[in-house]
Amino acid sequence: MKTIGLIGGMSWESSKLYYEFLNTKTKDILGGSHSAKCIMVSVDFAAIERLTFKGDWKAIGELMKRAAQQLERAGADIILLCTNTIHLVSHYISENVSIPFMHIARTTGESIKSLSLKKVALLGTKFTMEKDFYTKTLSNDFGLEILIPDTSDRQVVHDIIYNELVKGQFTSASKQKIIEVIKELQKQGAQGVILGCTELPILISELDIAIPIFDTGKIHAYKAIEWSINN
């Protein structure tokens, strides 16, 4: 079994789930008392958040590069970035380490294609929904048509993520708002919905909506365990 390196803390609410996902999947595959071999470098999210809203992606990239290099020095065999939005600067990782980097949009795309879906909705921060670092991978590499909410609904989702979810607040009112956004996208033809913020699946589950959901963090972690065991 190979050692998985995790860059976490963005936010710790979802990073803790990565540890659970990795170990649950390991036990499912290997049975017995097996658990995942992993290392985590967890950053201070307040600093990342401040730089994000300043638009200083270069500084964020440098922080990610240093975290990735720290993981490589610690003995990681592969690196996962435990967040969707910060994949905007994932090239700072892939270009500055000699070990593989597993991109969350690619693992998500593979999962969607396995269900033969063609048109899916994407929810996340405004950065994830509006910039092309995520949608380009899904469209170009997997032939998917991506739907995003309208301007006002994008702001609603973004604000719920930053004002509530990353701070550990999960309310029924916000859950209902997200469900309404998803239902509107379903009316536009969405066959499934990507929960492209790793905190969103804490708020929304497959029991809440009628179309498949794609829990990006869980998909990411499960793919990493399969890689770890098979390589």
Q: In whole angstroms, how far apart are CA 80 and each of 46, 69, 88, 151, 222? A: 20, 12, 14, 30, 11
Task: Find residue 5's DSSP bridge partners.
Answer: 39, 79
Burial annotation 45-71 (CB, 10 A radius, 16+ → b, else e): beebeebbeeeebebbbebbbebbbeb
Residue reference for tokens 């020095």:
73
DSSP code at position 3 = P
Coil, helix or strand for 185? helix
**Residue 136: how many CB atoms within 10 A of its CB?**
12
Are 197 and 15 in contact by the 8 Å Cβ rule? The answer is no
DSSP code at position 193 = E
Are 219 and 21 in contact by the 8 Å Cβ rule? The answer is no
Any idea which residues carry the catalytic annotation? Answer: 83, 197
